[in-house]
Amino acid sequence: MTRPGRLRAVAAAVAATLLFTAGCTAGDDDPPPAATPSATAAPSATSTVGGVSNPFGAHWDWSRYQQFGPYLRRLAGSATYEEISWCEIERTSGQADWAGLDEIASRSRELGITVHLKIRTGVCWATGGTARHTRGAANKTESAMPTDLGAYQRFVRSVVQRYGPYGVREYAIENEVNAPSYWAGSPEDYARLVRAAAETIRATDPKARVVDSGISSVAYGMGVADRLLRAGRVPDAVAAYQAYFQRRVGTRGQQIPAVTGEAQLRRALGTETNSRSLRFLAVTESLLTDRTVDVRQVHFYEHFSGVAPLLDYLRATTPPGTPIQAWEVGQFWRDGEGDPTSRAAEMVKTVTLLAAGGIGEISWLPLAYNPNNAAGSEVRYGLLDPDGTEREAGRMLAALADAARGATVTPLPASVAGRLNGVAFVRGGSSTLVLWSAADTPVTVPAAPGGRTGAVGSPLGAAGGGTTVTDVPVLVRADQPVERILATVR
């Protein structure tokens, strides 16, 4: 659910506050000098490797880079993405303006953050027709099928040639194509577009990887329930729907109704909107299966209890060995309900469960709350205040990034299942665990030699007599293997 500003406006805003990188002026037509490659290798349930050494990142508004820069440096080693539009970059055929994107790529590289690109067409001379959906101050439109696939491929080639030297290695084709406000064509049109783009991307840069559009968070929830229902697991389907959509019911009219039984669930899945989402989810999975697409992109804005059914779905429907990345993770909370402490704690639970489940890159969106949003309240929670001041949630994510950077990410051992939730980061002989109780009963983790513990985002102190773990996440660090630290949990 991205809301980027115009790239030209971004260039002007950044240029007003920052010096350009030597050899990379906004007006240059040539790409910048080659940088050290920062391709991201396939993530697994136990590691983060390649150019991305830290799985926890964010997505931000580049027009506020001056306020956000100090915090973003704390997320070094992570990945983010930038959405671009052919119609925006090449407003007149043959006349491309790369200034804004050049500056974004340069600044990302200086931050030590890998940038992925999401390539959209938009609606303009390149597609024909008239836009039906516009949104935001930048008047973003849906995308449509190009009238000339050869011209589209030439544009894609120019993107890859220009930004490969910046370290860009992943290219997503379109955004949330299940939504008419993002994609005007059919699933078959989308598949044809992806195949054309994938052919060009691989021919231009053999190290590059093709990423799907990122089906919306709500559509993934419908997919979770639909799969279980089709398998005859009706109670599981209803329970998964209720867990996933507990904050969404009634927010989109009849598209996300309350569901207590099979008949209601079938009606919910059968609406025009949800049927469309399931069709686009299916074509996305077919592109993964035939290896047209290399990386699966997930969007998730739900309650953390929805992570478990989502992970089950992803394991069942993603080809073995396919990297899964969460380019958009956030927290939908209708009417901005919830106090900052609970919202921050939930953020920790969401991102750690995703990491433990094998999601290799997790970008929180938005980085900072926009007080001028259309909802009028903070429906999606930011890590920072609008002026860049760190919130508790921001301190917590930065602490997770510190723990995870260059470490092996591993799920908790089965011996503590049902008692503890969380994830572990192992670096050398040291283990850092993020833990919270899986039930209402507190759990005690005995102190390990030299162990330290404390709240996520706060200084750690000596573990002393051990750590009492409640439903509020804590950090436990010791120079011991994870299994030994948790061996005598009680």
The domains of the chain are located at: 7-221+267-406, 412-485
Q: Evaluate the CA torsion angle 327, 333, 339, 343 in order and state its sign.
A: negative
Reduced to 3 states, what is the DSSP secondary structure of residue 296?
A: strand
In the numeric block, which tokens belong to residue 285?
């999975």
- H or E element: which one contains 154? helix 149-163
CA 38 – CA 34 distance, rounded (Å):
11
Amino acid at 306: G
CA 233 – CA 204 distance, rounded (Å):
45
Residue 446 CB neighbour total at 10 angstroms = 15
Q: How far is CA 451 from CA 402, 445, 458, 489, in A?
A: 17, 11, 15, 14
Q: Which residue's structure tokens are 């469309």?
A: 276
Kindly report whether the peptide bond that precedes residue 366 is cis, defined as omega within 30 degrees of 0: yes
Residue 284 CB neighbour total at 10 angstroms = 26
Q: Evaluate the CA torsion angle 311, 236, 231, 222 in order and state its sign.
A: negative
**pLDDT value at position 135?**
67
450-475 confidence digits (pLDDT tens):
899 999 999 999 988 899 999 999 99
Amino acid at 56: F
CA 490 – CA 416 distance, rounded (Å):
9
String of b and e for 28-59 (b: at least 16 CB within 10 Å)? eeebbeeeeebbbebbbeebbebbbbbbbbbb
CA 421 – CA 410 distance, rounded (Å):
12
- Identify the CA nearest to 315 among candidates 359, 269, 362, 350: 359
Phi, psi for 193 (deg, rounded to 5): -65, -45
Beta carbons within 8 Å of 234's beta carbon, 6+ residues apart:
228, 262, 265
Q: How far is CA 105 from CA 59, 61, 204, in A?
A: 14, 14, 19
Paired with 433 in beta bridges are 424, 476
Q: How far is CA 67 from CA 26, 76, 168, 345, 371, in A?
A: 22, 16, 25, 24, 15
What is the signed CA dihedral for 398, 376, 138, 217, rounded to 10 degrees?
A: 60
Reduced to 3 states, what is the DSSP secondary structure of residue 476?
A: strand
Q: Which residue's structure tokens are 């069709």?
A: 279
Residue 341 CB neighbour total at 10 angstroms = 11
Number of H helices and number of E strands within the chain?
14, 18
Q: Which residue's structure tokens are 């044809």?
A: 192
Whether the CB-CB separation of 322 and 209 falls below 8 Å is answered with no
Q: Which CATH architecture has domain 7-221+267-406?
A: Alpha-Beta Barrel (3.20)
Whether the CB-CB separation of 404 and 56 falls below 8 Å is answered with yes
Q: Which CATH architecture has domain 412-485?
A: Sandwich (2.60)
Phi, psi for 158 (deg, rounded to 5): -65, -35
- H or E element: which one contains 170? strand 170-173
**pLDDT value at position 140?**
85
**pLDDT value at position 222?**
98
* Sites in the chain below the pLDDT cut of 50: 1-6, 8-50
Q: Which residue's structure tokens are 């723990």?
A: 403
List the 420-427 sheet strands across, edge first. 408-411, 420-427, 430-437, 474-478, 452-455, 461-462
Q: Where are the alpha helices (DSSP H) in 164-233?
A: 187-204, 217-230
**pLDDT value at position 334?**
79
